[in-house]
Amino acid sequence: MGGGFVLVPLQVLWAGVPQRFANANSLVAIIPIALAALPIYYFRKGSPQVDLHAALFLVIGSVVGAYVGARLLSRIPDRELKFGVALILGVVGLKELLLP
């Protein structure tokens, strides 16, 4: 699970940020977090702790997914967006409770 599972609901419930902006903020927040973590994991314990081959596929998938998600975000009505996010959070929560 990524930080978005915490970041998005906190923004919506506590900060009063609209769902659409909270989703976008979460995606943008990933950039500095990843950049800060890269040298820590790459230079840890004298040898890289990052599989660059696997990371390349994750980067490609993330960029494509973020682009498609951002394009779809503008087309989904706010009520349905909130319902979808709540449904995903509920499914992930149940999975964590039942199959830790």
Is the torsion defined by CA of 59, 65, 66, 67 positive or negative? positive
The SS3 call for residue 17 is coil
Q: Supply the DSSP symbol for 25.
A: H
What DSSP state is assigned to residue 50? -
Q: What is the pLDDT of residues 7-31, one digit of tens each?
A: 888 999 999 999 889 888 888 888 8
Query: Is 80 exceeded by the pLDDT of residue 45?
Result: no
Could you give the CA distance from residue 78 to residue 15 in angstroms, rounded to a whole number? 17
Give 50-78 pLDDT, tens digit per residue.
888 998 998 899 889 888 988 888 898 88
